[in-house]
């Protein structure tokens, strides 16, 4: 009996050791992200708030000033003036790319993203997270005067007219602009290109929030 119990105990310990090795291996496989390096102060910083400030006009002006490239990370996007500014930039030869939250784009009837895609602007839908909650515009990251806009402000009329929102406009800081462009590219690599028609295959869209 003692021999049997000792053998059982040894088997259990071996199984426990194997399990611990497996856990250690899985933890080691988790990618470790280094702390991001701080970016040097450069250029100018402007802040704006709603209600009160014409945040939409500031975003439209930044897009209108683009010479080479406009990258947009969007959650909810329904603002017609911002959509028209992107369409106009595309028509005059600026490279415009939009990476939008999948659920908001497919579930909001008033979303501006499908029309942008149908007009030939490259659009990607991001359904890889609980929410692709970014609100970012990067203009001419490699240009002489890059601009990065970010904050809580969704590209919607509600954000302009009804909500308490904020944006930060960082001009002439190439390090910040390139960092946001690199972030855009990382998300884009795992997102789904979309033509603007129908529901693309993949995960079902989340309910709009």
HSE on the CB side for 166, CA within 13 Å?
4
In whole angstroms, give the CA distance from residue 140 to residue 94: 9
- Break the chain into its structural domains and give their ranges: 44-194
Which of 79, 90, 135, 175 is an active site residue?
135
Which of 133, 172, 175, 197 is an active site residue?
133
Question: What's the pTM?
Answer: 0.79
Whole-number average pLDDT of the chain: 86
**With contact defined as beta carbons under 8 Å apart, do 73 and 172 qualify?**
no
Give yes or no: 142 in active site.
Answer: no
**At 139, phi and psi to the nearest 5?**
-115, 125
Beta-sheet pairing, 192-194 with 123-126: antiparallel
The CATH classification number of 44-194 equals: 3.30.870.10
For residue 116, the model assigns a pLDDT of 97
Contacts of 100 (CB under 8 A, 6+ apart): 72, 73, 74, 75, 77, 111, 113, 123, 124, 125, 126, 132
Q: Which of 57-61, 175-179, 192-196 has the lowest mean pLDDT?
A: 192-196
For residue 13, the model assigns a pLDDT of 47
In whole angstroms, give the CA distance from residue 80 to residue 174: 29
In whole angstroms, give the CA distance from residue 24 to residue 53: 53
Give yes or no: 203 in active site.
Answer: no
pLDDT tens digits along 9-58 = 555 545 544 544 443 444 344 444 556 668 777 779 999 999 999 999 99
In whole angstroms, give the CA distance from residue 91 to residue 88: 5
Give yes or no: 133 in active site.
Answer: yes
Which of 79, 140, 142, 162 is an active site residue?
140
**Which is nearest to 147 in space by CA: 156, 155, 136?**
136
Outline where 30-163 has alpha helix (H). 55-64, 80-91, 102-107, 113-118, 157-161
């Amino acid at each position: 009996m003692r021999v049997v119990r000792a053998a059982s105990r040894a088997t259990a310990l071996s199984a426990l050791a194997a399990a611990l090795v497996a856990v250690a291996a899985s933890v080691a496989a988790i990618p470790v992200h280094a702390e991001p390096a701080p970016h040097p102060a450069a250029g100018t910083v402007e802040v704006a708030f709603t209600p009160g400030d014409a945040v939409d006009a500031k975003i439209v002006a930044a897009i209108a000033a683009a010479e080479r490239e406009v990258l947009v990370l969007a959650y909810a996007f329904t603002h017609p003036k911002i959509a028209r500014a992107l369409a106009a930039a595309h028509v005059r030869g600026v490279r415009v790319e939009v990476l939008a939250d999948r659920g908001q784009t497919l579930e909001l009837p008033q979303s501006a993203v499908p029309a942008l895609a149908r007009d030939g602007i490259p659009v990607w839908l991001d359904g890889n997270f609980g929410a692709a909650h970014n609100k970012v515009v990067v203009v001419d990251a490699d240009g002489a005067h890059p601009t990065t806009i970010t904050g809580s402000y969704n590209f919607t009329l509600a954000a302009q007219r009804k909500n308490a929102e904020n944006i930060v406009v960082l001009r002439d800081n190439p390090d910040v602009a390139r960092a946001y462009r690199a972030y855009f590219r990382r998300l884009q690599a795992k997102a789904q290109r979309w033509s603007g028609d129908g529901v693309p295959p993949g995960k079902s869209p989340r309910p709009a929030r």
